[in-house]
Amino acid sequence: MADTTGELRRLKRRHIIYYLEVFDRESGQLLGHLVDLTVKGMKLVSKEEIPVGKGFSLRMVMPEEYCPAREVLFHATSTWCSQDVNPDFFASGFSTPDLSEDNRRLFMILINQAGFND
């Protein structure tokens, strides 16, 4: 599946120094690991291909040293999925347009405190 969102991206993605776990709240299964993040979306790397256009209820475990919350609960929709650079994995993009203000603040803390300076 092709990544056609590149030309639509307005916010620069920030790679995060942690490989945070993101879980599907409905199944409890690990969906993938966070690679980069904005307040409008994220990129995950996973073992399984993620269906495009599917809405997810997610739980992300946060690093204690940077974030006051131990986990963040939010909704996201998968927008693309393709083979990762490592052929054993898939990379997937998610949009998070409906983040609550509290979650937006937590994402900004994570981006500002744990994002690579590039």
Per-residue pLDDT of the chain (118 residues; tens, 9 = 90+): 444 444 444 444 444 445 789 999 999 999 999 988 888 999 999 999 999 999 999 999 887 776 677 899 999 999 999 999 999 999 999 999 899 999 998 888 877 775 544 4
> Are residues 83 and 90 in contact, defined by beta-carbon separation less than 8 angstroms?
yes
Count of alpha carbons within 13 Å of 94, Cβ hemisphere only?
A: 31
Domains of the chain: 20-114 (2.40.10.220)
Alpha-carbon distances of 84 from 5, 20, 44, 106, 113, rounded to whole Å: 16, 17, 10, 27, 26
Measured distance CA(76)–CA(93) in Å, rounded: 10
pLDDT of residue 27: 96
User: Residue type at 90?
Assistant: F
pLDDT of residue 112: 77
